[in-house]
Structure 1
Amino acid sequence: MHGLAAQGPLSVSRLVSLLQELVEDNFVEVLVEGELSNFSRPASGHLYLTLKDAEAQLRGVMFRSQAKRLKFQPDNGMQVICRGRISVYRSRGELQLIIESIEPSGVGGLQLAFEQLKRRLAREGLFAEARKRSLPAFPRRIGVVTSATGAAIRDILNILGRRSVGVEVLVRPVRVQGEGAEEEIAAGIADLNRCGVDVMIVGRGGGSLEDLWAFNDEVVARAVHASACPVISAVGHETDWTICDFVADLRAPTPSAGAELVVRNRRELESHLDQLALRLAGQMRGRIQLLRERVTGLRRRLIPPQQQLQLQRSRFDHLQQRLYRSVASGLQMARQRLKLSSARLDALSPLHTLARGYSIVFKQPGQTVVRHAADVGPGDKLRVRLAEGTLTVAVEESEP
């Protein structure tokens, strides 16, 4: 310091430049742990923050190219470990940390990113059981999104070929790890949907969390959610869980298990069909026996035509006899009523009165019945009706 002072006063910019050289030459790569504060992400895509502890604080910046690689979302209050280099921000003469990577303290960045995305998608309803669809019982066209060179595709095709007949398998080869793999997987899901597959297997073989990370990406989760057909997620081993597993309609612990879930075993189907055939035959035999018993019962109740005709004839004869008796009885009663009426009529008839010696006198002409002597005079002609025959007489004298 005495040597610099002997050279005379330094300008501020010169002093800051010397400090910048000193700091950047000696702090090329450092790991700094602290609490995030003043975190911001402007439209430029850079990240600005402050790392602090109980006694000091340090400003930091993470440029957009590195910020795009972050798997989790930093936030104020989070305890993190930043890797980077120390520099001097010349316009303010302040130390700052140029950050290359950020990891959460105590938990990996990928794991934190997994939990953050999982919570956010769950809040949106992408994991809801109500939206999950059942697999088709007998798919005719199956889509597979996976690597064309991995063991997973060989296992899937082997099982599909062994367990099913007449099923069309469409394979959409994609990269399953590395930069850009998530976009390829999402594009493969969309392509197979356009091909009209009945069900789809999306997966890969086992690996580390980093290897499986493409299936934890939001773009893959959105593509699975938007699929028009049911999706089986078959990623890694049984202990491996990805975001794709939660969004898919069904999770398979391995790619082989996914193939077994999508098609039924041919022998199992044959056995099932045999059981159905036996049940159907038993039901048909029972039905036929029931119908036979009904026919036998109806046959017993059925009267032969000859017997039925004889019964009808007997009934006809019986009815005919009843009719004859009814007619004869009716005629007899009518005769008796007629005889009685005739007797009554005879008793009231004028002829019966004439038969007892009476007569009826008619004045001529005009045939007027004479009831009083005063009705006629001498010389009038009368006709007398007797019980038998008539008389014509002339009046000589009348006495009233």
Structure 2
Amino acid sequence: MTQLSFDDFLVEEEYLTVTDLTKEIRYLLESTFREIWVEGEISNFNHHSSGHMYFSLKDENAQISCAMWRRRNQELFFTPRDGMKVVVNARVTVYEKRGNYQLDVLQIKPAGLGELQLAFEELKNRLRGEGLFADEYKQPIPLYPERIGIVTSPTGAAIKDLVTVLRRRFPAIQIVLNSVRVQGESAAAEIAQAIDEFNEYGKVDVLIIGRGGGSLEDLWAFNEESVARAVFRSQIPVVSAVGHEVDFCICDFVADLRAPTPSAAAELVVQNRDGIAARLNQMLEFMSGSILDRIKYQREKIQYIKNSYAFRQPEDLVVQYHQRLDDISRNLRKSMSRKIDLNEQMLNGLSKRLALLEHNNVLKRGYSFTFRCSDGKLISRANELNKKDEIEIKFYQGKVFGTVNEVEG
């Protein structure tokens, strides 16, 4: 009889390691669910100090772990929170160390505008209850600001419109831009910080914050509580100019003045140069006419006294009227002297403002004028020139000539 060993009973089979099996599962899941949209409710939300977001997406019967890496979540227009219904664009993947499958999230969107609108109304009602919208806290906008601070994107349409209108209405106005992102998750923090920085800087007369139009999602940074509170605590008057005329944001209600568009904000903040000159002329004419009317009235009054019957009365009446006449003359001289002093002060002030409009004074402050030599046209934009155009640049003292080598913008 042949004796059999235990090894003779073993059948050769292929075995998978845990790592091999996990990799196979990962391959099957990732190749089957390359990029999908999943709807659910956020729970266990955690914005880690690394910048990554971790949360669960659940419905009534199941839940799945999710991760959204920092480089992707920086462009979110809202802050996710527990209980929010969302739709995520994601890939199914496997976390091999734990053998768990999860969603690698590429995008997150609210499940509907209702979620954002509800958040908007909740914050608006709460801030109104705290008094942030009350008229008693509104600061007046200066009538003649000399330096304007702007909080917006350096590349958007808003800054171009603002600068164009401001320069057209009052070329001598000084503009200070604090560049920020106007949408995405970090936009609200940047806007609030820019407002605070202007208040620390303290050298502007009024602030304009805003951006061009867009969807509710695009404008959401201006609905964030951090921006509203920065506007409220600003010691510098703030003009809100967000979106188009039909768009309303939380910061519109908190700001000292709301403008329907960035261009409208520029027109509201800065007076037209020609309008200022016209008003100055009206004031001069009014003051001159007022003084002449006063002189005429006093002369007629004196003449009336001289021609009156009482003036020809006995000596005591003559003395009495002489005293009255002396009083009137003395008061008239005092009044005229005060008015002349006041008018001199006003005229000096008006002359200084008019001097700002004179082009040599603009040049004296470091600006220059550029002309195209071929036709003498004043150049205000780079795209008005072509390569090899001959140009003349005029300074406060002297001028230079040159040739355009390259045009940008």
- Quickly name the TM-score band, shorter chain normalised: 0.5 to 0.7
The 1:50/1:206 distance shift into structure 2, 3 A limit, reads closer
Displacement, 1:8? 8.0
Deviations 1:199-238, CA, capped at 9 Å, x for gaps:
2223344456666565455554444334321122223332
Q: Choose 1 or 2 for highest CA Rg.
A: 1
Contact 2:180 2:194 survives alignment (8 Å): no
- Paired residue for 2:264, among 246, 257, 264? 257
Alignment partner, residue 236 of structure 2: 229
Aligned residue runs from structure 1 range 33-52, under 5 A: 33-36=39-42, 38-41=43-46, 46-52=53-59
Aligned length: 301
Per-residue deviation, 1:292: 4.3
Distance in 2, Cα, partners of 1:8 & 1:190: 68
- Contact in 2 for aligned 1:145/1:174 (Cα 8 Å): yes
Paired with 2:26 and 2:18, the residues of 1 have a C-alpha distance of: 12
User: What 5-or-longer segments of structure 1 have no aligned partner?
Assistant: 310-400
Cα offsets for 1:160-188 (capped at 9, x unmatched): 344447x5312326255566666665555
- Corresponding residue of 1:342: none
Q: 1:30 pairs with 36, 56, 73, which one? A: 36
Question: 1:196 corresponds to which residue?
Answer: 203
1:290–1:169: structure 2 CA closer, same or farther, 3 Å change rule?
A: same
CA-based RMSD: 4.6
Of 177-186 and 43-52, more deviation after overlay is shown by 177-186
What's 1:172 paired with?
177
Provide, for residues 301-341 of structure 1, a one-character-per-residue CA deviation record: whole Å limited to 9, x for no partner: 356675779xxxxxxxxxxxxxxxxxxxxxxxxxxxxxxxx
Go from structure 1 to structure 2 and tell me whether the alpha carbon gap of 1:252 and 1:93 turns closer, same or farther (over 3 Å shift).
same
Closer/same/farther in 2, CA of residues 290 and 118 from structure 1, 3 Å limit: same
Partner of 1:160: 166
Q: Find the counterpart in structure 1 of residue 352 from structure 2.
A: none
Q: Which amino acid aligns with 1:28?
A: R
Deviates more, 1:241-250 or 1:133-142: 241-250
- Contact 2:77 2:217 survives alignment (8 Å): no
Aligned-partner residue type, residue 263 of structure 1: V
**Cα 1:133/1:119, change in 2 over 3 Å:** same
Partner Cα distance (2:179, 2:128) in 1: 27
| Aligned-residue offset at 1:17 | 5.6
Q: Secondary structure at the match of 1:229?
A: coil
Are positions 1:289 and 2:294 aligned together? no
Deviation, 1:294, is 7.9
Q: Is the 8 A contact 2:151 2:180 kept in 1?
A: no
Among residues 48, 53, 62, which one is paired with 1:57 in the alignment? 62
| Matched residue, 1:369 | none
CA distance in 2 between partners of 1:77 and 1:113 (Å)? 12
Superimposed CA distance per residue, residues 33-83 of structure 1 (whole angstroms, 9 cap, x where no aligned partner):
2344x4343766643324114xx3122222462555543344555432222
- Is the 2:78–2:220 contact (alpha carbons within 8 Å) kept by the matching residues of 1? no
3-state SS of 1:130 partner: helix
- Residue correspondence of structure 1 range 353-368 to structure 2 within 5 A: none
Q: Answer whether contact 1:62 1:100 (CA < 8 A) is retained.
A: no
Alpha-carbon separation, structure 2, partners of 1:70 and 1:152 = 21
- Local SS of the residue matching 2:78: coil
Change in Cα spacing, 1:307 to 1:173, as seen in structure 2 (3 Å) is closer
**Structure-2 change in CA distance of 1:89 and 1:158 (3 Å):** closer
Native 8 Å contact 1:176 1:212 kept in 2: no
- Aligned twin of 1:301: 310
Contact 1:186 1:223 in 2 (8 A): yes
SS of the aligned residue for 1:160 comes to: helix
- Distance of 1:282 and 1:28 partners within structure 2: 84
d(CA) in 2 for partners of 1:209, 1:143 = 25
Q: 1:283 to 1:300 in 2, by over 3 A?
A: farther
Deviation of the 1:102 alpha carbon: 2.6
Check conservation: 1:174, 1:181, Cα contact below 8 A.
no
The corresponding residue for 2:113 is 107
Aligned AA (2:269): V
Whether the 8 Å contact between 1:20 and 1:88 is mirrored in structure 2 is yes
User: What displacement does 1:31 show?
Assistant: 1.5
Deviates more, 1:97-106 or 1:282-291: 282-291
After superposition, what is the alpha-carbon deviation per residue over 1:236-292, rounded to whole angstroms, capped at 9, x for unaligned? 332333444333211212222112111233444455556666766469737963784
Change (3 A) 1:189 1:81: closer
- Greater CA drift, 115-124 or 18-27: 115-124
Structure 1 contact 207–236 (Cα < 8 Å) conserved: yes
CA distance in 2, matches of 1:151, 1:100: 28
Counterpart contact for 1:60–1:99, Cα < 8 Å = no
Structure 2 counterpart of 1:79, one-letter code: K
- SS of 2:112's equivalent? coil
Over 3 Å counting, the alpha-carbon distance change for 1:68 and 1:177 in structure 2 is closer
Task: Give the unaligned 5+ runs of structure 2.
Answer: 1-10, 319-409
TM-score w.r.t. the length of structure 2 is 0.56
Report deviation, 1:106.
Answer: 2.5
Question: Aligned residue for 2:339?
Answer: none
What letter is aligned with 2:58? L
